[in-house]
């Protein structure tokens, strides 16, 4: 079934595209009638993607209207979570995890390397609009610390040197492999598996 954007659901100059309206309808279908406020977080994510990576006042008000919520409630959610941005950000948002496992394994060095490479401080965006650099709390990949999230992707087992290579490749428009950068698979021990090395019946 084709779903088109609905002009009556515009808010100022902001509205979901046809593609995102399809997604919005699927999200709303998850919740009982009268519980549309449960869709605030996924709607904020849709709105941020629709708005070039950040949430304007019009985008927040639009989400409030679509979810039957007070605008201040939606703003409270948007301002609480670090995945939402209330000001314009770069094409690549570099989030350096600074929580204890990453800090112990070199998060400060990653931040320093990124600052020097990009020529910006935390919370700043490069002049070409390509990168924004921030620090965040735990991103949940503690086994593979230190790590960063860039847009939707995780880059793990990083060194400052590898961090700089990733930034160079992204700036050049190259594809960068995601996940562990050390050669290990997922969260297996460094050096490979240490237990269950043989299947039953093998020598």
3-state secondary structure 45-96: HHHHHHCCCCCCHHHHHHHHHHHCCCHHHHHHHHHHCCCCCCCCCCCEEEEE
Name the β-bridge partners of 134: 95
Alpha carbon 189 to chain centroid distance? 26
Question: Which pLDDT band, with edges at 50, 70 and 90, does 11 fall under?
Answer: low
Cβ(163)–Cβ(113) below 8 Å = yes
Determine the average pLDDT of the residues in 8-15: 66
Fold of the 92-180 domain: Glutaredoxin (3.40.30)
| Structural class in CATH, domain 7-80 | mainly alpha
Q: How far is it, in rounded angstroms, from Cα 7 to Cα 89?
A: 28
CA-nearest of 99, 195, 180 to 144 is 180
pTM of the complete model: 0.83
Question: Which pLDDT band, with edges at 50, 70 and 90, does 6 fall under?
Answer: very low
Q: Residue 9 pLDDT more than 80? A: no
Q: Residue 4 pLDDT more than 50? A: no
Q: Residue 180 pLDDT more than 90? A: yes
Please give the share of the chain, as a percent, with pLDDT higher than 90.
83
Domain with CATH 1.10.10.1590 in the chain: 7-80
Domain with CATH 3.40.30.10 in the chain: 92-180
Please give the share of the chain, as a percent, with pLDDT higher than 70.
92
Distances (CA, A) of 41 to 24, 86, 144, 188: 12, 14, 27, 33
Question: Which pLDDT band, with edges at 50, 70 and 90, does 188 fall under?
Answer: confident
């Amino acid at each position: 079934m084709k779903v088109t954007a609905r002009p009556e659901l515009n808010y100022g100059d902001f509205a979901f595209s046809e593609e995102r309206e399809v997604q919005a309808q699927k999200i709303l279908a998850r919740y009982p009638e009268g519980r549309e406020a449960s869709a605030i977080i996924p709607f904020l994510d849709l709105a941020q993607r629709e708005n070039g990576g950040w949430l304007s006042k019009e985008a927040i008000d639009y989400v409030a209207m679509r979810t039957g919520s007070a605008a201040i409630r939606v703003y409270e959610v948007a301002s609480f979570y670090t995945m939402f941005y209330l000001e314009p950000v770069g094409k690549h948002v570099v989030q350096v995890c600074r929580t204890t496992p990453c800090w112990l394994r070199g998060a400060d060095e990653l931040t320093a390397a990124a600052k020097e490479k990009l020529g910006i401080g935390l919370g700043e965006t490069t002049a070409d609009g390509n990168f924004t650099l921030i620090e965040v709390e735990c991103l949940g990949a503690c086994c593979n610390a230190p790590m960063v999230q860039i847009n939707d992707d995780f880059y793990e087992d990083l060194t400052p040197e590898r961090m700089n290579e990733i930034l160079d490749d992204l700036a050049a428009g190259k594809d960068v492999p995601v996940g562990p950068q050390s050669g290990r698979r997922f969260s297996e021990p460094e050096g490979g598996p240490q237990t269950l090395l043989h299947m039953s019946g093998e020598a």
